[in-house]
Structure 1
């Protein structure tokens, strides 16, 4: 490979970003969107591959903190904006950027790297496993009814704009971050991502609105949504798209779902990227009429095995030796003994016989409690070497709430 890999110079950002835009279809982003990503770019953590004066590859890593089982907020590199120019494929550029990036993440002392994938098939070979799933649905509100919990009628609702409600909605989000693995603690500037709503991307929908749920004068939940009018000879057939919905208690969430399922002149609610254990599934009268589907969410890569496994807690006592395969980051390879419970954990290298054998990809998939080690073993991706070890570890790695990534990056 004759290309040069170097840290992004702020003066080269426009040329660098143009390569990324071209790789994702060549449609220029709205000025407001482009300006936000320019502001959020941490240049010292972003890379460009250059062939002479031409940028031919891009990759970056935002500074994040990720909630893990037990509630700890763990440093994680948010891998983003990865692309290789079509003129420079099959030259090892992507592999070079991924290797350099993971070496940098290790040097920064961050035990995890995470990403969302435009093409999920790419990242498994670099050690990323699918750690969260996201649910989508289309609720047929003409046929589906909601059974709401006690206290729902005590919640008052009002509609405003996302910008006007930003301080209150961020406070609600912050209150819930520690309670669900996979959530990201928002750093300064990231609250503005929720305000992005370029007119060119609305596809006929209204500007986004913000529904606030309040009790005794306090905001206890919010939803960002848009309405798309539609008419046929038979009458109105509009739709509501729910982009974000967060409540501090069941009644607050139920009140917002009830409102969204009864917006005038609409017949369906499009639900985007929700937790797989989201409460709405238990409010509806007929989940089949909601057409639920799943897709991959957060892809997670363990960069430092010991630090990552010690950062979370375990819902049952565990004492297990993993034989870890990781050719891409060889410092992780070998046997690791994990001993832990709900109070904490210790992980260290050992010469003891292995109980389970797996690659770092499977360890990443199971890390947040979203993928079961038993399920991975059924697919032939985890091998049990000691009777009982698989069940013991699988139960311990579980999470009482499903892990979920609330927004992309």
Structure 2
């Protein structure tokens, strides 16, 4: 018989073994070190067959930045795994159901995860909401950026240490996420991992940390990158992998990208996670130098519809009555959304509605990164009142695309 229980610190080695096994890996001292550093009481769920762990899940509290500059309490779900011998026995379903119930009961208004399979979590009410890109730029010939990209800044570009990054980074990032829709806070363990504070997690290729400090002495940008030596008989060449890119303004963005792309002997620059609408490709002398692909997509699951919809601001005023279909029951029913001066009042209603929509599709629209017209064309929205889908789209749109910078949530 399979039972679920909260994982204690003493249970962690067995829990870690099950998690690694599900992804065809054997646990190492590095894995144990990382899991122990991220451990917090009450966040880990284990599915047990007797005393053997066969399923894992982590559900951690986060604060999610939404349109309008406010945050809502969120549950970040990660480390979801079932060992190979126990798959297709309902263990994942039971763990997800338990995690969502626990999140809702603890006051988390929304849940967030990053799935490996597009269709796996839609059945639990999750919808794709926050997309990001991976970009690789051919820097072989140098002069990659346009001449118009500011290079005569009055600030200072500084190489800093890992220890300095652990002090400067969190302060800079907290300022950044105040205005970045889709961002969450980062836990101290995330910064420890980025800066390799733990000896056991240090990688063979060490990262470099570079900041931009403006003329007032204010740090407004940070990039973190590593370099890999390319095998060549003629010359020394490197590929750069940028794993962190946080900018508070255009000055810091231009200055730090100019620095990255002017480094000598660099053939290619890969940016592993960047916003969909980041202007990096427009800064290039020749946009064809860049190869772009979609990176991870964060999926949202609304658990408290009135709280979630009331938290954000909207692009225009209007009133809509919507029927929300939610098989899990958290948000199922008919609701009126009345927006005045960009703020919404949300209340349950009865009778006819303007729109019928699934909770997963509503989550796709919530952060401003979705398009209601597209969802309607795909039969994911049913329009009962002419023009209501257009109004929904105009209300929910945002001028800047949402983006979730890395925060410790892994693919599940």
TM-score, normalisation: structure 1: 0.93
- Hey, what does 2:210 align to over in structure 1? 211
User: Residues 4-153 of structure 1 correspond to what in structure 2 (within 5 A)?
Assistant: 4-29=3-28, 31=30, 34-143=32-141, 144-150=144-150, 152-153=152-153
Q: 2:324–2:332: 8 Å Cα contact kept in structure 1?
A: yes
**Cα shift readout 1:194-222 (whole Å, capped 9, x = no counterpart):** 22489999997x30000111123332211
- Hey, what does 1:292 align to over in structure 2? 292
- Hey, what does 1:355 align to over in structure 2? 354
Q: Between 20-29 and 80-89, report the one with greater CA deviation.
A: 20-29
**Cα shift readout 1:63-97 (whole Å, capped 9, x = no counterpart):** 10000111111100000111111111111111111
The structure-2 alpha-carbon separation of the partners of 1:307 and 1:134, relative to structure 1 and needing over 3 Å to count, comes to same
- Hey, what does 2:323 align to over in structure 1? 323
**Cα shift readout 1:344-374 (whole Å, capped 9, x = no counterpart):** 2111111131111111111111111111111
> Aligned equivalents of 2:193 and 2:109: distance in 1?
25
Root-mean-square deviation over aligned CA pairs: 2.2
Secondary structure in structure 1 of the residue aligned to 2:119: helix
Q: Between 223-232 and 158-167, report the one with greater CA deviation.
A: 158-167
Displacement after TM superposition at 1:234 (Å): 4.4
> Aligned equivalents of 1:262 and 1:68: distance in 2?
35
- Hey, what does 2:164 align to over in structure 1? 164
> Aligned equivalents of 2:253 and 2:280: distance in 1?
8
Q: 1:313–1:341: 8 Å Cα contact kept in structure 2?
A: no
Displacement after TM superposition at 1:150 (Å): 4.5
Unaligned 5+ segments in structure 2 are: none
Secondary structure in structure 1 of the residue aligned to 2:401: coil
- Hey, what does 1:377 align to over in structure 2? 376
- Hey, what does 1:249 align to over in structure 2? 249
Secondary structure in structure 2 of the residue aligned to 1:235: coil
Q: How many residues align?
A: 405
Unaligned 5+ segments in structure 1 are: none
> Aligned equivalents of 2:314 and 2:340: distance in 1?
5
**Cα shift readout 1:75-131 (whole Å, capped 9, x = no counterpart):** 000001111111111111111111111111110111100011233331111111111
Displacement after TM superposition at 1:35 (Å): 2.5
Displacement after TM superposition at 1:167 (Å): 1.5
> Aligned equivalents of 1:59 and 1:146: distance in 2?
46
Secondary structure in structure 1 of the residue aligned to 2:256: helix
Q: 2:334–2:349: 8 Å Cα contact kept in structure 1?
A: yes
The structure-2 alpha-carbon separation of the partners of 1:133 and 1:29, relative to structure 1 and needing over 3 Å to count, comes to farther
Q: 2:4–2:48: 8 Å Cα contact kept in structure 1?
A: yes
The structure-2 alpha-carbon separation of the partners of 1:110 and 1:51, relative to structure 1 and needing over 3 Å to count, comes to same
> Aligned equivalents of 2:279 and 2:369: distance in 1?
17
Q: 2:57–2:79: 8 Å Cα contact kept in structure 1?
A: yes
User: Residues 253-272 of structure 1 correspond to what in structure 2 (within 5 A)?
Assistant: 253-272=253-272
> Aligned equivalents of 1:5 and 1:202: distance in 2?
34
Secondary structure in structure 2 of the residue aligned to 1:213: strand
The structure-2 alpha-carbon separation of the partners of 1:52 and 1:27, relative to structure 1 and needing over 3 Å to count, comes to closer
TM-score, normalisation: structure 2: 0.92
> Aligned equivalents of 2:65 and 2:149: distance in 1?
28
> Aligned equivalents of 2:365 and 2:189: distance in 1?
31
Q: 1:76–1:114: 8 Å Cα contact kept in structure 2?
A: yes
Displacement after TM superposition at 1:275 (Å): 0.3
Secondary structure in structure 2 of the residue aligned to 1:145: coil
Displacement after TM superposition at 1:223 (Å): 0.4
> Aligned equivalents of 1:369 and 1:246: distance in 2?
21
Displacement after TM superposition at 1:380 (Å): 1.9
**Cα shift readout 1:31-57 (whole Å, capped 9, x = no counterpart):** 3x6334323223313211111111111
> Aligned equivalents of 2:363 and 2:262: distance in 1?
41
Secondary structure in structure 1 of the residue aligned to 2:121: helix
- Hey, what does 2:184 align to over in structure 1? 184
The structure-2 alpha-carbon separation of the partners of 1:66 and 1:209, relative to structure 1 and needing over 3 Å to count, comes to same
Q: Between 258-267 and 153-162, report the one with greater CA deviation.
A: 153-162
